[in-house]
Amino acid sequence: MMSAQTAKLIVALKEFPIIAIVRESGPEEVVRSKVETLIEAGVLALEVTTNSTAWQKIVREYSSQVSMGVGTVNTIAHVNEAHEAGAIFTVSPGTRAEVIKRSLELGMLPFPGALTPTEVLLGVEAGAEFIKIFPAGQLGINYLKALLGPLNTVKFVPTGGISTEQAGEWLQAGATAVGLGSDLTRGSAEDIRARVTALKSQIASHSKAAQ
């Protein structure tokens, strides 16, 4: 049964289909500043990775303000820690059935990473509704289109090496949402806010063009 929080995430991704990814090994204040800026700018779904400084503390602190997930979730221990911190979704670089199933058991939506059709199907069979295509930037938009041919019922979230300027094109090609990391979160708070604003305009333009 879907929890109210996971239902909130699905609604959030329909409204603004971007997952902002914070991966920061610098001082805790830097991680906190990026998260706060992204939330203030209007990001609705945010992922902090397990190799970021004080990630559990950050997730716990901001989980009431945004649909908060944890990335680089590679083990059952990561899943448990993410849940304890208040995350409502987990994101992984690869497909591990035990990680997917444990996330679901705890009421979190898993976003397993996949590259091939076989990996996509393994993720779906384990119970994942969303599949993270990784590394999407290196594969290109045509790869997503090719996957959507036989796998058109899967909700794909391309991630890795995608620029903020390309996000709308991926969505227009059939992505359910797009994961954006360093290209979105680098630079000053002003830079980040400007990119989020530009993303909103870009996505709105592509949505109108698709109608």
At 76 the three-state DSSP class reads helix
- Residues with Cβ within 8 Å of residue 29, at least 6 apart in sequence: none
To 10 degrees, what angle do helices 76-85 and 55-62 make? 40
Annotated active-site residue 132? The verdict is yes
The catalytic position among 8, 105, 129, 132 is: 132
Residue of 47, 98, 105, 129 with catalytic role:
47
Half-sphere exposure of 209 (CA within 13 A, CB side): 11
Is 200 annotated in the active site? no
Distances (CA, A) of 173 to 49, 166, 201: 27, 11, 17
Cα R_g (the chain), whole angstroms: 16
Are residues 39 and 68 in contact, defined by beta-carbon separation less than 8 angstroms?
Answer: no
The C-alpha angle 200, 137, 90, rounded to 5 degrees, equals 70
The CA distance from 13 to 99, in Å, is: 22
**What distance in Å separates the CA atoms of residue 117 and residue 107, rounded to the nearest whole number?**
26
DSSP 8-state assignment for residue 103: H
Active site residue ranges? 47, 132
